[in-house]
Structure 1
Amino acid sequence: MDWNDSRQEFHSSRVLSGADLPKIGRVTKTADGPLPWRVTDFTADAREIDDFLLTLATNDCSPQTIRSYAFDLLRWWRFLAAVGIRWDTARREDVRDLVLWMRQPQQPGSRAYSPTSINHMLSVLFAFYEYHARLGHGPVANPVPGAALGMRRYEHHNPLAPYQPQKRAPYRQQTVTGAPRVLSQDLVTRVFTALTSTRDKALVAMYLATGARASELLGMKARDVDWGNQLIAVVSKGTRAYQWVPTSPDSLTWLRLYLGEMPLKSPEDALWRTVRRPYRPLQYSALRAMLVRVNKALGTGVTLHDFRHTCASRLANDPSIPLTDVQAVLRHKHLTTTSKYIHTNTQDMVQRVLEHHKAPRDSTPPPAWGYDPCDMAELFGPLP
């Protein structure tokens, strides 16, 4: 066989087009200890992953960040198992093949990984190999290309100097910032009608009224509702601060109906629970499964985060609410993050432009400027 033919055959087998990765390992939530999430069920290499995640926990990273990093590392280990190499012998070509695999749909009718997910994966792997390189473990050169790729663009930019164009790093995907996924009122009504339990309707109403993230609402306790002042308290995902957020009367009405069916015994009880015995705190997987059933029935693709986008867009486009108030409700660190929700509704824009084109142009010239005869008579008297 010719050398070029053998290289082509080897490369096509490494990309694993349309193939599922071996189902080894899983991400597990720990009951206690300094590490909230771990990658388990590995026969080897578990210590290297634990050491890296433990460093993140020591640096005060949120549990959700550690969970996200754990899933990316698990995907990398499954890819390494599929191609038959160890993590400490990985090369740049292996990272390239991983990116090519993630860019392809894994199942018929499914979608490939998004550019943002691929870039996040590369950032996680870069940080992982940099950490072990400082300890003298793993490859001599980081298989994720570019030593400066872990930093954000313009991270140390001088505000007095003009911005200089910067190329994307190797293997990083081009991301397009589009408009937020805002649900129309008709779709919101259809989703709300398709919900079968009072608890689910109370949850969706609360998401749409507060713009809270899925994990923030699920972490609420019975004491986190201020009925008189129309507020709820959540632990913010990023800062982990305990913050009060205004909500709507409708959401509190649905919450009262839900608690009437499933009353709580203690202020420390989880607010959102399963509707079947044994009663236990509602998990994200169960909430997502509920929305999957609704999407299947309606033929839609609504996500939980779409409710936050919808709430944010409604608030940001209300002229009576300052944008800084919207920022406070959404708990954004930067106002520029909130400003992306100020947008023109496409349907309204199209309708206005079509009406402009249909309106006949008025060819009558505007009247010339002049003095009012009554004013002239007041000043100079009746003219002869």
Structure 2
Amino acid sequence: MNDAPVRDLAALVVPRWGRLAETGDRYEPYRLLDPDDVIVEAVAVYFQELLAAGKAPSTVRSYGMDLLRWWRFLEAVGIPWDRATRVEARDFSRWIQLTVKPRRGQAPRKRSAPAAGAPNPVTGKPSSGPGYAPTTVAHSETVLRRFYNVHRDAGTGPLLNPFPLDLSRRSGRAHAHHNPMDGWKPERLGRYRPSLPQRIPRSIPDEWFNNLFAVLPSNRDRALVAFWISTGVRASELIGVRQCDVDPGQQLISVVRKGSRATQQVPASADAFVWLRLYQEEVHGKVPSGRRQPVWWTLRRPYRSLTYHGAHRMFERVNASLGADWTLHDLRHSAAARMVRDPQLTLSDVQWVLGHAHLSTTEVYLTPRREEVVAGVLAHHARQADKRSEPMPPPAAPGYNPASLNVLFGRTS
């Protein structure tokens, strides 16, 4: 470590090396290819490990993007993947926290220091800024540590993992001696894993949701948003619904949960099924029919099954028309906040609908929204101002007890 070269990360140019290609093959949904379109075997082996562990193709894609960034960094510093040391891991962790995320068709740029974005005038969310989000940085560290663990155990990678565990974690497992009555305390896993800010789920206020729903351009989009806001399922879970998964008679839809991959029926509002029926009438005879066919399709020819990224772009366009920056996941937060505020629903009911493994995860929705807190505090200031403007009562006449007069007239002492 002491003899390691000191890299000038500010002047480092990371090329757009290689790409992550989708194959359409369920046994190998994604491949990491070099600039000559040759498969990177080390990553292909890791992808097979993920699929054998039951990971979804979307998870493989997410892990593949982290590995692509790592391969591009190694290409810039001229180090093979199996010769990487903790110096490269440390420099990569520094670089990814300070670099500007490249946009499509643009070269990577640098920034001198991370700056907090200004809040959105509609939602109050701080802008994400030009760099990678802290969650993306933390996810990359976890993926790369697991990648090198697989190759270390197989004898095909470095003997020492370039992304080691934190010193406090080497002597024991995570959450050792955890009391089930207590919450889950966040523990630091990797040495180069950044600390993540504690975030409160943001929901869409009812009045703004009405405005958002009013500008949706099609019955398909209205049906999608109506299901998201009434069921609280994740965006990808609803996109994967097939025609046999819809039960209008009982107002139920079946979704495959992201984590457990279990199929679960969740209730939806009657309005959602009305919009779905209107959408189905529009596309009748235009898209394939069948119990195992997808429910959601693109709006333009040639008709293809709707993907998460297509739904995401649709919601981005709706946001742009309102000047907002809500996300599809905010619809899940909004549904959870609505259910939690209903006194007829228990917190366990909401936990079951959302598919949370721990009740403590659902408890975060008990936190009041920013708008509610701001309105309450402003009302408090108004009451304080009214008290200061009230005229002082005249002094008591001689012979009367002031305390008794305060009780008689209902005044505070």
TM-score, normalised with respect to structure 2: 0.77
Query: Cα gap change, 1:230/1:166 in structure 2, threshold over 3 Å: closer, same or farther?
Result: closer
How many angstroms apart in 2 are the aligned matches of 1:160 and 1:220?
35
Q: Please report how far the alpha carbon of residue 269 of structure 1 lies from its aligned counterpart in structure 2 after TM superposition.
A: 2.1
Of stretches 328-337 and 88-97 in structure 1, the one that deviates more from structure 2 is: 88-97
The superposition leaves residues 264-286 of structure 1 with CA deviations (integer Å, 9 ceiling, x where unpaired) of 63222210011222222111221
- Which of 173, 178, 182 matches 2:194? 173
Instruction: Report the residue type matching 2:92 in the other structure.
Output: L
Structure 2: runs of 5 or more not aligned: 103-108, 110-116, 118-128, 391-402, 409-413
Match of 1:11 in 2: 7
Match of 2:83 in 1: 89
Query: Cα gap change, 1:64/1:152 in structure 2, threshold over 3 Å: closer, same or farther?
Result: farther
Match of 2:177 in 1: 157
Match of 2:229 in 1: 208
Partner-residue secondary structure (3-state), 1:103: helix
The superposition leaves residues 185-227 of structure 1 with CA deviations (integer Å, 9 ceiling, x where unpaired) of 2332232222211111111111111111111111111121111
Partner-residue secondary structure (3-state), 2:365: coil
Partner-residue secondary structure (3-state), 1:290: helix
| Contact 1:181–1:309 (CA under 8 A) maintained in structure 2 | yes
- Which of 348, 357, 364 matches 1:324? 348
How many angstroms apart in 2 are the aligned matches of 1:25 and 1:150?
35
Match of 2:327 in 1: 303
- Which of 69, 88, 101 matches 1:106? 101
Of stretches 40-49 and 244-253 in structure 1, the one that deviates more from structure 2 is: 40-49
Identity across matched positions, percent: 37
Match of 1:46 in 2: 40
| Contact 1:317–1:343 (CA under 8 A) maintained in structure 2 | no
Match of 2:135 in 1: 116
Query: Cα gap change, 1:310/1:258 in structure 2, threshold over 3 Å: closer, same or farther?
Result: same
Q: Please report how far the alpha carbon of residue 161 of structure 1 lies from its aligned counterpart in structure 2 after TM superposition.
A: 12
1:57 aligns with 2:51: yes
How many angstroms apart in 2 are the aligned matches of 1:151 and 1:279?
55
Q: Please report how far the alpha carbon of residue 325 of structure 1 lies from its aligned counterpart in structure 2 after TM superposition.
A: 0.6
Query: Cα gap change, 1:254/1:158 in structure 2, threshold over 3 Å: closer, same or farther?
Result: closer
Q: Please report how far the alpha carbon of residue 324 of structure 1 lies from its aligned counterpart in structure 2 after TM superposition.
A: 0.6
How many angstroms apart in 1 are the aligned matches of 2:174 and 2:278?
50
| Contact 1:270–1:281 (CA under 8 A) maintained in structure 2 | yes
Of stretches 23-32 and 315-324 in structure 1, the one that deviates more from structure 2 is: 23-32
- Which of 151, 154, 162 matches 1:143? 162
Structure 1: runs of 5 or more not aligned: 368-384
The superposition leaves residues 40-84 of structure 1 with CA deviations (integer Å, 9 ceiling, x where unpaired) of 356567111111121122222333322221221111111112222
TM-score, normalised with respect to structure 1: 0.83
How many angstroms apart in 1 are the aligned matches of 2:185 and 2:296?
49
Match of 1:373 in 2: none
Q: Please report how far the alpha carbon of residue 305 of structure 1 lies from its aligned counterpart in structure 2 after TM superposition.
A: 0.8
Q: Please report how far the alpha carbon of residue 140 of structure 1 lies from its aligned counterpart in structure 2 after TM superposition.
A: 2.8
> Aligned-pair RMSD on alpha carbons?
3.2
Match of 1:357 in 2: 384
| Contact 1:29–1:36 (CA under 8 A) maintained in structure 2 | yes
Match of 2:395 in 1: none
How many angstroms apart in 2 are the aligned matches of 1:164 and 1:257?
47
1:285 aligns with 2:309: yes
The superposition leaves residues 105-148 of structure 1 with CA deviations (integer Å, 9 ceiling, x where unpaired) of 33689432222221111111111111111222222321113377
Query: Cα gap change, 1:130/1:15 in structure 2, threshold over 3 Å: closer, same or farther?
Result: farther
How many angstroms apart in 2 are the aligned matches of 1:251 and 1:164?
38
1:125 aligns with 2:139: no
| Contact 1:202–1:254 (CA under 8 A) maintained in structure 2 | yes
| Contact 1:206–1:247 (CA under 8 A) maintained in structure 2 | yes
1:344 aligns with 2:368: yes
Instruction: Report the residue type matching 1:106 in the other structure.
Output: K
